[in-house]
Amino acid sequence: MTVTRPSDLDGALAGLAEGGALARAGGTDLTACVAEGVLPGGPVVDLTGVAGMSGTDRRDDGSVRVGALTTVTELAEGPLLAGSYPALARTARGLATPQVRGTATLGGNLLQRNRCWYLRNPAFDCHQSGGSSCPARTGDHLYGVVVDQGPCVAPHPSSLAAALAAYDASIEVAGRGSSRSVPVAELYDGTDPTRDHVLDPAEVVVSVALPAPVPGERGAYLRATGRSRAEWPLVEVVVRLACEDRGSGPVASAAVAVGGVARTPLRLPGVEDALAGSVPGGGLSPAVVAALEGLADLCSPLPGTRYKVALLSSTVRAGLLRALGAEEG
């Protein structure tokens, strides 16, 4: 396995144009995927030396550009993000382990492969590994989706994708001879069972563009797990509340995104709409409670994921209460 270390984007894209080449950033997912046979070993294009893919800067229009090589720890602790995009920083703080957060990158997190125990077991073939079936759908899918979008039943693993969906962020993607901006929601296609994102292997995520911050935003991140830490979420929720009076007044607008439930992160517009007017420190309004109950209609559970119907609603509930500063005792 050869490793090249281009210093600029053109070099990286040229390297990736070779068949079977693998782009590598932090390498935490890639290393495990190659070891587990999820990905075939191939020439590696190491992106860590590529200029222009690091750092966080604010642009004139108030938006913020975050380089794809930014580590999860930097997302969690960087003062600019923690102050202006609290839901993103909290999400970064809540995922994986300290060691992985210190190495894994924003771009890699968005493009990582799913955690299905069939995909990661060499004894099985599936849509993702060139097969024509989903052994998890007919087998043991305890951690599978509850919103069934297509043949594959593995939830999208990227917590940051859920957070970025809540921010309506867009992804700056470079390919050979072209670059484009993709809304984060369009980075994933839940009906395509063969891959976990829609980018071409020869494309690179260069950066993420966050719209200008909302003053006084209240943010929360929460995941439902069995253990207290270091566990993939059964269901996770990212909550952003734009409140009047610099955060102390009623909710003017809200964004709520969930992960662990579908092949893609999902926004919950019904809940978002119902949140308008909610007051920090107060409980959930009847409209919000009704919207939470309505989440069941969104669900199309598998036999083994029926528990996630209730858990989706309760995780969102807990996330909203946390964002409102009104956690139940």
Partner 1 sequence: MDLEVNGSPSAAPAEGEETAAAYIRDRLGLTGTKTACGTGVCGACTVLVDGSPTVSCLLPADRLAGRSVTTVEGLGGSHPVQRAFAAHDGLQCGYCTPGFVVEAAAFTDAWRAEHGDVRPDREAIADALAGHLCRCGAYEGIFAAVAAACAGDFDGDPGQDPPRADAPDKVTGRARFTVDHTPRGCWEGVIVRSTVAHARVRSIDAGGARTQAEPGTAPVLVDLLGSDRTVRYAGQPIAAVAAPTAARARAAAEAVRVDYEVLPAALDPATALEPDAPVLYPTRAERRAAPTYAEGVALPSAWNGNLRGPFTLGWRGGTAVRRLRAAERSGDPRLVTREYTTSAQLHTALEPHACVADWDDGHLTLHVSTQAVSETADTVAGRWGLPRERVRVVTEYVGGGFGAKGILSTETVAAVELSRIAGAPVRVALTRAEELTDAGYRPATRTRVALLADQRGDLAAMSVDSHGYGGVSHGSMTAVLAALMYGRTPRRTRDYDVVTHHPPGSPFRAPGGPPMAFALEQAVDEMAERLGEDPLSLRRRWDGNTRRAALYEKVAALPLWTARPRGERTGRFRRGVGLAASNWLFIVSPRSQVELVVENGVIVVRSATQDIGTGIRTVLRDVVAERLGTPADALRVEIGDSASVHGAGATGSRSTNSMGPAAAEAADALRVALRERSDRVPAEGPVPEVGLKEALAAAEGVRVVGGRPLDRWERMSSLLAGGGDMAMGRGLIGGVHVMEVEVDTLLGRVRPRRCWAGIAAGRIYAERLARNQCEGAVVQGVGYALFEGRRDDPATGAVLTANMEDYRIPGPGDVPETEVYFHEEGFEHVPGGGVGLGEVSTVGVAAALANAVHDATGWRPTDLPIRPDRLLEGLR
Q: Which residue among 7, 31, 248, 300 contacts partner 1 (CB under 8 A)?
A: 31
Give the closest residue to 9 by CA, choosing from 167, 159, 297, 202: 202
Task: Locate all alpha helices (DSSP H) within the chain, ordered by sequence.
Answer: 9-16, 28-36, 72-77, 79-84, 86-94, 98-103, 106-111, 135-138, 159-166, 269-275, 286-298, 307-323
CB within 8 Å of 270: residues ≥ 6 apart:
291, 294, 295
Chain positions 112 to 141 lying near partner 1, rule: CB under 8 A, are 115, 117-118, 120-121, 123-124, 135, 138-140
Enclosing H/E stretch for 224: strand 217-224
Between 212 and 290, name the residue whose CB sits nearer to partner 1.
290
* Size of interface with partner 1, in residues (CB under 8 A): 54
- Rule CB under 8 A: say whether 227 interacts with partner 1: yes
Q: Which residue among 232, 247, 250, 294 contacts partner 1 (CB under 8 A)?
A: 232
Q: Which residue among 3, 17, 198, 290 contacts partner 1 (CB under 8 A)?
A: 3
- Give me 326's structure tokens: 């009104």
The whole-angstrom separation of Cα 308 and Cα 298 is: 12
Q: Which residue among 46, 77, 125, 189 contacts partner 1 (CB under 8 A)?
A: 46
Q: Which residue among 13, 16, 28, 214 contacts partner 1 (CB under 8 A)?
A: 28
- Give the binding site for partner 1 (CB under 8 A): 1-3, 24, 27-28, 31-32, 34-36, 41, 44, 46, 48, 96-100, 102-103, 115, 117-118, 120-121, 123-124, 135, 138-140, 142, 224-232, 234, 307-308, 310-311, 314-315, 317-318, 328-329
